[in-house]
Amino acid sequence: MEFKAFEPGIELLGQALEFMVAGFRIIPSVGLRILAKHGLVKRGPDGKAEFGREGWFPQQAGLDAFRAIHNEVGSFTIFEIGRQLGLQVYCPPEINDLDSVMKWMDVSYHLFHRKNGKIMYDAATGRMAEGIGHYSYERPNANKMVVVAQTPYPCDFDFGIVTGDVERFGPHGRVVHDDHAPCRKKGANSCTYVISL
């Protein structure tokens, strides 16, 4: 199911909110207005939006902002927000191809969230805290990858992330939503995306 946190009390890193505005390439002020309405950005003394890049915000407020964006502007902007994240989010130097970015996706996702004041991925132990779902992938053959997103975020957002990752690390690939698999738009808790290479 989209737009509903799996657990209360989960927080989202402020840096992620900048990607929400990046999806509004033509009129970023609309994105800023929606984020401000949900308490996710503040106005500085000069009137410009200030992102608390290192701050933490309630995940549900972020999901509520996604719902407002979807309702006001539509699913393409949600897709574009995800695409910009896939194209621009930091990846360590060893993340340099589609397989490595698909493995990194779940780690990165957990690094952008915290639970009970603790980041949900511990690099020292490799452990992930539960409560936000996961991204998983498999590669059944050299020409195909299958990504499953089990998160509370919108289907179109995750479709955009996978698309941005493919554009960045495998530009000859093509991503489609698996319409035969469960979908969060239909009340399921996951969506599946197929990458053809």
Domains defined for the chain, CATH in brackets:
10-196 (3.90.1520.10)
Average pLDDT, 10 consecutive residues per value, the chain (197 residues): 94 88 77 89 76 88 95 93 93 95 97 97 96 97 97 97 96 95 96 97
pLDDT at 28: 78
pLDDT at 22: 75
pLDDT at 70: 94
**Collapsed DSSP state (helix, strand, coil) of residue 196:** strand
| Half-sphere CA count of 99, side-chain side, radius 13 A | 7
pTM across the whole model: 0.93
Closest CA to 83 of 15, 12, 168, 148: 168
